[in-house]
Each structure stands twice: as structure tokens, then as C-alpha cells.
Amino acid sequence: MTSLVLVLAILWDLVIVRTRLLGRRVFWAGYAIVLAFQLLINGWLTYNNVFLYDESAILGVRVFYQPVEDLAFGFSLVLTVQSMWVFLGRRGIRN
């Protein structure tokens, strides 16, 4: 499931809405900030057993106590939302 979500987010950016954020330094700089806080907060929550994971439901690879799947889902969410933001801005869609 994680791989599917990741591939769909990348296809969304590169093929469907064609914002091509993955090729922009500003995206990666912004994502680095999001990633730092994701690692800090999710890592703390997982370390303190606020979030518990069934080991049979995850790959088993962890980064700062959190499953690597959390990082992939977070990346997919950030990429998809930012792509939609840019796409709608280009089309002049406002509230």
C-alpha cells in the first residue's frame, strides 16, 4: 500500500497536474522542514508508545522509532497537497 500511495503521488505531480514540484529546490527545502518536524514529533510519539504498530503490518524498518511507511505517507501527503495548491493557483481558482 505504501508503494502504491508513493507512486500515485509522484504520478499526480509529474503527469496529472504537471506541477513538477519534485524538480524544484524550493519543494525539497520546504519538505526538509516538514520532515524534520515529522521525525521529531512522530518519533517522540512512537517512542513513548502513544502510537503502537502491529509488527506484522509494517516492513520493520524504523527511522527514529517510527516505521518507514510513515515517512512515505507523509511525503505523499505533502507532495499531493502542494501540487494541488500550485495547480489551483495556476488556474486562478480562489475561495
Domains of the chain by residue range: 2-90
For residue 14, report the phi and psi dihedrals to the nearest 5 degrees.
-85, -30
Q: What is the pLDDT of residue 61?
A: 85
- For 25-32, what is the mean pLDDT? 94
For 33-92, the pLDDT digits (tens) are 999 999 999 889 988 989 888 888 888 888 888 888 889 999 999 999 999 999 998 877
Q: Which residues contact 81 (CB under 8 A, 6 or more apart)?
A: none
**Which amino acid appears at position 69 of this protein?**
E
